[in-house]
Structures are given as structure tokens and as C-alpha cells.
Chain A
Amino acid sequence: MALLEIQELCHNFGGLKAISDFSLTVTAGELVGLIGPNGAGKTTVFNLITGVYHPDGGHLYFAGQDITTWPSYRIMARGMGRTFQNIRLFKDLSALDNVRVGAFAQCSYSLRQTLFRTPGFKRQEAQMTDRAHQLLARFKLSRYALTPARHLPYGEQRRLEIARALISNPKLLLLDEPAAGMNQAEIGVLITLLRELRQEFDLTILLIEHHMGVVMDLCQRVQVLDFGETIFTGSPLEAQHHPAVLEAYLGKDGEPDEI
């Protein structure tokens, strides 16, 4: 069953065609990679999926519903989680609170219940806090629970972003360059972590990554973007040898080098 279905998505920035005719179907349980050179439009695709931008053409379906015109918060509350290329934590909030913000959409109490501290309100608040603690523990971040996010080491900040995305129990996780800025050892840990998370949280993952090792290891399928157009869909291994992909990354053979 298709969890996410993207049909002929188009998006322009002014006169610039950022994305044209982008189609992609992600089935529940899959791990799909979205790759391509810098500026190919990968993050724009994420922004279109999550409602940060609304597409100029095409359709988006998620978990059986047309989400093309939905605002971000509705899309995310429907079961998506996302991380960012350049870490976007709430730097002055504690690690615990960063994760708890992710759970806000799950709380269903009203302001009246809040003000009168009804049992329902207390139970939900306690549940969310417990769950946030569990997630921090799962990501080996417990000792940073009360530390402002800005003081966490880089790798921990990356993990915290994933924890924040997972607290709402998303069906689909969008990871934007999770390995950026990591060394080889850290990347190995990340790959193992993502594999485990996929099992534990029953996740479907769509991943943007520059690091070919991560893509080769994790993804069952990749889609390659160049200048907003899909130039290849298939297995990661095939992608590595496909002439159009090589051209996009390395430039055309026999093309004179310009300074």
C-alpha cells in the first residue's frame, strides 16, 4: 500500500523551475533515498511534502488523503516527522522540552482543562513527559535532558532532532542529510541506529543524503534529481553506474573544463 504518493509535482521560485514533474511512490515499510548534486531540489521536495511550500502543480497523497493544500501542522499531525539539513533545534529549550514540543499535537486537552488541571490534562502531560524521557533514553541523551540544546555536542544534536521527530509516532520519517558533518565512525553508528529505529518504530523512511555509503547501505531504492528533474529511479547499485547520474555528479565526458 502506498503511504506517500507524489504525482507530477511542480514548483517554481519566481521564474526558476525548482521542481518539475516529480513523481514518487513510497510504500509502507520502505526505505527510499533521494539523491542528487547540490541545488538539485531535494530539500524543496521535502518542503513541498511537509507543506512549507505549496506546489504550483501536481498532487500529494499521504496515508490515503489528498494533502496537497494542507497546512504543515495538519500534515505533520497526520503522521510525519522530519529532520533538517542544518540542525533546527530550539536552542534555548532543554533537550527534554525540544522533544516534548514534538508531542504537542498529540495532546487533546483544551485550555479549560489546562486551567483547571483536570485529571485528563494531568494524565496526558505526564504521559508525554514520560515518553519524552523514554525517547531521550533510547537515543542515549538522558544525561542532557535538562541541558539547553545549544550546549549539546554536534552528533547529539543530530540525534535529538530525530528523537523530536519520533515522539509523535510518525508513519513516515523524512531525514534531510542525517550524516552531514559526521566522520566515518559516526556514520557507521548512524546507519545501525536508523536500521534499528525502522524496526522499533515501524517506520517508513525517505532520506536525502550526499554520503553514498549511507545510501548504498540503507536504501532499497533511490531517486536521483538534477536541476529539479528526475534522471534516475532504481536500485542504489544501478544508480552508481548509470551514465545520466554520473554526468550529473561529475559533468559530461569530453566537455571542456572551464575555469
Chain B
Amino acid sequence: MLALSIQYLLNALQLGSVYALIALGYTMVYGILTLINFAHGDIFMVGSYLALWGALFLLGSQVKLPLALVFIGALLFSMTLTALLGVLIERLAYRPLRQAPRVSAVITALGVGLFLENFTLATIGPQPQHVPPLTPGYSFTFLGVTCSDVQLLIIVLSLMLMVLLDWLVGYTMTGMALRAISYNRTIVPLMGVPVNRMISLTFAIGSAIAGAGGLLYGLAYPVLDPYMGVRIGWWAFIAAVVGGIGNIRGAMLGGYILGAVEIFTPVFLPASTYRDFVAFSLLLILLIFRPTGLLGRPTFERV
């Protein structure tokens, strides 16, 4: 029983890592622009396809490359191109609407998401694509708990990315400039900070992390389709809100919580189909009792 619980916890940690990585993108963009980038889930989807192609290209090369190198190559390929995609989306779709009412930007974000889904559908087709294994396939069993190398890779790499991001945002001058923009975007240029460049940077980082998430997700659940970003995107969005949107550590916490919800729902409820019901209920309850999320700072209006 204990072994089983730990097994579930490990699975929750694995899935939660991916949710956390994607939730970070939502929360960073919201933090700096107070915009929910609804296209972010689809950026993740594009990232997983990019990682797949990167991996297939490297696997198909004349020289037999070690798997670790293929993995790193695919990771860098996916992260670089998704970063570019994120910056491009901001430049073309969101920046022209910077001064427009918030709802215009939100609708645009939904539109960009639909565009990415359908563009992928039109160019690649609806048939699921299979991701080849990029790890040797080891697994370790300890006291009845099994941990695969993929699982370990996902958990450790995600954690490394999160620690790096937390450090970047919390402890460097760059991060401080980002936080300053999130507090007051109008006066930051008067400190000599190029706000547009910082916003591009935010999109680049958020998207690159989603790209990494795309590769890791593909390793664990090796079937990709153009609509995979929708459900995962929603779950990551809930994770960001649960943790407190705009809060980096909140997004990480929320990601792990949502991972746990997904894994433990079929344990306590009759079927795994209840998972969306549980996740959205969690969101609603939290919005009623703690609208700022678990780690969000309460905003209060000054009179």
C-alpha cells in the first residue's frame, strides 16, 4: 500500500513537472502584461513537434550519435525555435494591441491558439505522430516502487529549469527589471529599461520552457497530435491560477498539485474521466475562497 502510494506520488511528480513548466509561461506573461496568453498551450504543442523533428533528424544522421546528444540537440532545437515563436507572436499579435482594451488581447490570444492548432493540422495532418525513445530505457525498482529513466529525467530536468528561472527572476538585475515592469510598466522606461525588449525576453523564456516541456511530455506520453496543447494548456493554466497567477513559485506549486489531481483522481473516484471535473472544481472553489491563488499576493484597491 505504501509502495503504491509512493508510486502514484512519483507519477504525479512526473506529470506535475510538465504542468509546472507550462504554467510558468502563463504566469510570466500575466505577471508582466496582465494578459492571459491562451496560445501558450499551443506553443507547447508546437514545441513537442519541434522536439520530435529535431530528434528524428539527429537519429537519422549518418554518424550514430549517442542518445544523450540526440536528447540535448532536440531540447536546444525545440527551446530555441519555440522562443522565437513566442517572440514572434508577441510582436505580431499582442504588441499592436498593447493600448487596446484587455478583452481584444485575450480574444487575439485565443485566435492565435486556434491558428497554431489548425496550421499544424493543415500542414502535418491529424494522424498522431510517435516519438521515438531517447533514453536507454532503464528502470530502477526499489521496495516495490519503479522509477524509469524517463521519469527521473523529467523530474530532475524540470526542477533544474525551475530553479534557474526562479534565480533569474528573483536574484538578478534582469529579473528585478522584469518585476519592476510587472509593478509599474509606465515608469520603468524612465529608469532607462527597454520595456519592449524585456517583454520579448519574457515571451522567449516562457515559450522556451514550454518547448522543453514539449520534449519531456513527448518522452513520457509518446503520441503527439495537433490538439494536445488544448487540454494540457488548460490544466497548466489552472495550475498557474491555483498557485497564484503572476507568481513564479506559485505556478510550480500549482503544477505539482494539478499533477497530483490527475494521478489521484482515479484512485479515489470511479474513473479517470472525473479528472477534469475535479480540476475545474478545484479552480472554482479556490477562486471563491482565495481568488489570488495559494501564493498570490492579495491586491487591494486604495481609496
List residues of chain A with CB under 8 Å of any chain B CB: 50-52, 71-74, 76-77, 82, 84, 88, 90-93, 97, 100-107, 111, 114-115, 124-125, 128, 164, 168
Q: Which of B164, B183, B186, B192 contacts A102 (CB 8 A)?
A: B192
Given contacts A72-B189, A72-B190, A105-B193, contact A92 B176 (CB under 8 A): no
Any chain A CB within 8 A of the CB of B184?
Answer: yes
Known: A88-B184, A106-B192, A114-B168; 15 extra A-B contacts, CB below 8 A, are A71-B189, A73-B194, A88-B187, A93-B180, A97-B180, A100-B173, A104-B191, A104-B192, A105-B193, A114-B174, A115-B168, A128-B173, A164-B191, A168-B191, A168-B192
For A90, what are the chain B residues with a Cβ–Cβ distance below 8 Å? 179-180, 183-184
For B191, what are the chain A residues with a Cβ–Cβ distance below 8 Å? 76, 101-102, 104-105, 164, 168
Any chain A CB within 8 A of the CB of B297?
Answer: yes
**A90 and B183 alpha carbons, distance in the complex (Å):** 6
Closest to A125 in B: B173
Taking a contact as CB atoms under 8 Å apart, the answer to whether A105 and B183 are in contact is no
| Distance from B168 Cβ to chain A, minimum over Cβ atoms (Å) | 7
| Distance from A124 Cβ to chain B, minimum over Cβ atoms (Å) | 8
Q: Which of B168, B177, B180, B190 contacts A52 (CB 8 A)?
A: B190
| Distance from A65 Cβ to chain B, minimum over Cβ atoms (Å) | 15
Taking a contact as CB atoms under 8 Å apart, the answer to whether B164 and A115 are in contact is yes
24 of the cross-chain contacts (CB-CB < 8 Å) are: A73-B189, A73-B190, A73-B192, A74-B194, A76-B189, A76-B190, A88-B184, A90-B179, A93-B179, A93-B180, A93-B183, A97-B179, A101-B177, A101-B188, A103-B173, A104-B174, A104-B176, A106-B192, A114-B174, A125-B173, A128-B173, A164-B191, A168-B191, A168-B192
Closest to B168 in A: A114
Which B residues, 260 to 303, have Cβ-Cβ distances below 8 Å to chain A? 297
For B183, what are the chain A residues with a Cβ–Cβ distance below 8 Å? 90-93
**A128 and B173 alpha carbons, distance in the complex (Å):** 9
| Distance from A117 Cβ to chain B, minimum over Cβ atoms (Å) | 9
Any chain A CB within 8 A of the CB of B35?
Answer: no
**A107 and B183 alpha carbons, distance in the complex (Å):** 21
Q: Which of A92, A103, A106 contacts B297 (CB 8 A)?
A: A92
| Distance from B192 Cβ to chain A, minimum over Cβ atoms (Å) | 3
Chain B residues with a Cβ closer than 8 Å to the other chain, count: 23
Q: Which of B187, B192, B201 contacts A84 (CB 8 A)?
A: B187
| Distance from B58 Cβ to chain A, minimum over Cβ atoms (Å) | 23
For B164, what are the chain A residues with a Cβ–Cβ distance below 8 Å? 115
Any chain A CB within 8 A of the CB of B223?
Answer: no
Taking a contact as CB atoms under 8 Å apart, the answer to whether B190 and A104 are in contact is no
Prevailing SS type, chain B contact patch: helix
Any chain A CB within 8 A of the CB of B172?
Answer: yes
For A50, what are the chain B residues with a Cβ–Cβ distance below 8 Å? 190
Question: Hey, what's the 0/1 contact readout for B181-211 against A, CB within 8 Å counting as 1?
Answer: 0011011111111110000010000000000
| Distance from A105 Cβ to chain B, minimum over Cβ atoms (Å) | 3
Taking a contact as CB atoms under 8 Å apart, the answer to whether A76 and B192 are in contact is yes
**A111 and B193 alpha carbons, distance in the complex (Å):** 15
Q: Which of B172, B180, B189 contacts A51 (CB 8 A)?
A: B189
Given contacts A92-B297, A107-B173, A125-B173, contact A101 B193 (CB under 8 A): yes
Taking a contact as CB atoms under 8 Å apart, the answer to whether A111 and B173 are in contact is no
Given contacts A82-B190, A93-B183, contact A104 B172 (CB under 8 A): no
| Distance from A115 Cβ to chain B, minimum over Cβ atoms (Å) | 7
Q: Which of A82, A101, A105 contacts B176 (CB 8 A)?
A: A101
Taking a contact as CB atoms under 8 Å apart, the answer to whether A77 and B192 are in contact is yes
**A93 and B192 alpha carbons, distance in the complex (Å):** 18
For B297, what are the chain A residues with a Cβ–Cβ distance below 8 Å? 92
**A50 and B164 alpha carbons, distance in the complex (Å):** 35
